[in-house]
Amino acid sequence: MNDLAIELKGVSKRYPYFALDNIHLEVPRGQIMGLIGPNGAGKSTTIRILLGLVRQERGEVRVLGHRMPSEQVAAKWDIGFASDDMGLYEGMTLAWHMNFVRSIYPNWDAPYAQLLLKRFGLRAEQKIKGLSHGQRVKSTLLLVLARRPRLLVLDEPTTGLDPVARHEVLRELTAVMTDEGRSVLFSSHNTQDVEQISDRITFIDRGRIIDSLDKEAYLDRWRRLRLELLPGAVLPFLPGIIGIRQEGRLAVATANAFAADMANAYESAGVRVKSVEAMTLEEIFVANVERSREEVEV
Amino acid sequence: MGNAFVISQSDKRPIYLQIMEQIRQRVAVGDWTEGQAIPSIRQLAVDLQVSVITVKRAYLELERDGVIVTQQGRGSRVASNPGLGMRLQQQELEEHLEQALRLADMLGIRHKDLEARLRETGERRMEKEGEQV
């Protein structure tokens, strides 16, 4: 047994208008990995490959020590997967679904399922067809969480939820981490959720992984510098600065590899560093995508 | 026990700094005393609904600052260090001074003028206290 819950090596998959290109991804056991990227970046395809639902053309996939997709039957007992388009039976109640899942998975935790019903504000006797979108999402999550799987894979678990429901879902996801042997991979457009609960962040755009790093290290690399050029000074080019906006003698630089000696380099070129600001994941997300688009176009 | 740790989303500082500050405050006001066991990294992460790595970073930096000690397998405790509370308050003062400097720089106020304004503020306060007596 190694210490990786998920391991993707050189995984590729081609579609007519989209290709997943040489994906390397590692999720250590006991950690929460947040997968972020714009629409159509390849998040869901990556998730479907690691679940064995889509077969990769090249590369190796291991999940909880199982090779995928060949050992997906053995792996699925330990994996809980939830996404927006999970098939629930419209004519059946949530209670029926709970019994159904319980009959298949021996680890089903009935008291926990009852607790989740209460926390999510759901009623077991209600039929699926009468549920709102948010209630369906929460029902799907309940069915997965109460199995207490060793690996949770969630595709957009908080999309379409009201703030209270989102809060409850995040609470349950972080509660999973009391157990060091369990791991979570979730994709989201909500960068605030990812920033709050992830241990690692993987950033995908256009079928490629742009970054996959420890969250603290990742956030630390990005900084916004507010600069003032002394009369006659010219902004020097510094490695690690990926964007500059200048208007008159004021400029704002964005660093994706911030280093403390940047300030000295600027000062010696006649540029005063007025402030150095941390960036939110949302700001980093936008800066990263804009830059990756420019690179592709050049 | 009530958990009064609050992570603010409108606070511009990273979450780990907010956690460090709130632990420092608990030690400074004496709610957390020397040698007292404090929540494990995982437990605090679950309580605050933040990632383990964020709390780990806060604990590592607090350990480096001598505020807490973490022993492998035995959890974390407040460092037994006489005068710790005082030092933390000193550190807080330091942070406020730095903040004032940063603002002054942004407003283009020279350090000499800033000093003069601090003196004036002190004098005004003395006058006010004098009136009250």
ipTM of this complex: 0.72
In three-state secondary structure terms, B125 is helix
Query: Would you state the structure tokens that stand for residue A251, as one six-digit string?
Result: 């400029």
Give me the mean pLDDT over the B94-100 stretch: 88
pLDDT at A297: 53
pLDDT at B9 over 70: yes
Tokens of A184: 């979570």
* Contact yes or no for A197 and B46 at CB 8 A: no
In the structure, what pLDDT confidence band is assigned to residue B104 with cuts at 50, 70 and 90?
confident
Q: Which of A37, A38, A39, A63 is nearest to A51 (CA)?
A: A63
Residue B15 pLDDT greater than 60, yes or no: yes
Q: Which residue of A has its CA nearest to B105?
A: A274
Mean pLDDT along residues B117-131: 82
- Alpha carbons A98 and A169: distance in angstroms, whole number: 18
- With H, G, I as helix, E, B as strand and everything else as coil, classify residue B17: helix
- Which pTM does this prediction carry? 0.81
> Hey, what are B120's tokens?
């004036």
What residues in chain B have their Cβ under 8 A from chain A's Cβ atoms? 7, 9, 12-16, 42-43, 45-46, 49-54, 57, 102, 105-106
Contact A142, A70 (CB under 8 A): no
**Interface probe, candidates B8, B9, B51, chain A, greatest A C-beta count within 10 A:** B51
The CA-based dihedral angle spanning residues A73, A77, A81, A85, taken in that order and rounded to the nearest 10 degrees: 60
CB A139 within 8 A of CB A95: no
Dihedral of alpha carbons A94, A100, A105, A108, sign: positive
Contact list, A225 vs chain B (CB under 8 Å): none
Question: Is A18 or B30 the better-scoring residue by pLDDT?
Answer: A18
Q: Token pair 């960068």 is at which residue?
A: A191
What span, in angstroms and rounded, lies between the C-alpha atoms of A14 and B2? 53
Contact A171 B53 (CB under 8 A): no
Task: Spell out which residues of chain B touch residue A195, defining contact as CB-CB under 8 Å.
Answer: 15
- Chain A residues with CB inside 8 Å of B102's CB? 275
**CB neighbours of residue B16 within 10 Å:** 24
CA B41 vs. chain centroid, Å, equals 18
What average pLDDT is seen over chain B?
A: 85
Q: Do A177 and B42 touch (CB under 8 A)?
A: yes
At residue B30, the 3 state secondary structure works out as coil
Q: Which residues of B touch A170 (CB under 8 A)?
A: 49
Q: Which two tokens stand for residue A205?
A: 């755009």
Number of A–B residue contacts, CB under 8 Å: 55
**Which residues from B are below 8 Å from A181, CB to CB?**
none
- How many CB atoms are located within 10 Å of the residue B39 CB? 19
pLDDT (tens digit, 0 to 9) for every residue of chain A, 298 residues total? 468 999 999 999 999 989 999 999 999 999 999 999 988 899 999 999 999 999 999 999 999 999 998 998 899 899 999 987 778 999 999 999 999 999 999 889 999 999 999 999 999 999 999 999 889 999 999 999 999 999 999 998 888 888 888 888 898 888 888 888 899 999 998 888 999 999 999 999 999 998 899 999 999 999 999 999 998 889 998 999 998 998 889 999 999 999 888 988 998 899 999 888 899 999 999 988 888 777 655 4
Average pLDDT over residues B96-108: 85
What is the distance between the alpha carbons of residues A153 and A14, in angstroms, rounded to a whole number? 23
Q: Exposed, middle or buried by CB within 10 Å (0-12, 13-18, 19+), for A95?
A: middle
The DSSP element (H or E) to which A119 belongs, if any, is helix A110-120
Q: Which two tokens stand for residue A234?
A: 């010219």
Count of alpha carbons within 13 Å of A142, Cβ hemisphere only?
29
Bigger pLDDT: B72 vs B132: B72
CA angle A48, A186, A28 (to 5 degrees): 95
Question: What would the two tokens of residue A164 be?
Answer: 């209270």
What's the Cα-to-Cα distance from A221 to each of A217, B61, B115, rounded to whole Å? 6, 18, 34
Instruction: Quickly count: other Cβ atoms within 10 Å of residue B99's Cβ.
Output: 10
Contact B47, A174 (CB under 8 A): no
How many whole angstroms separate alpha carbon A68 and alpha carbon A153? 15
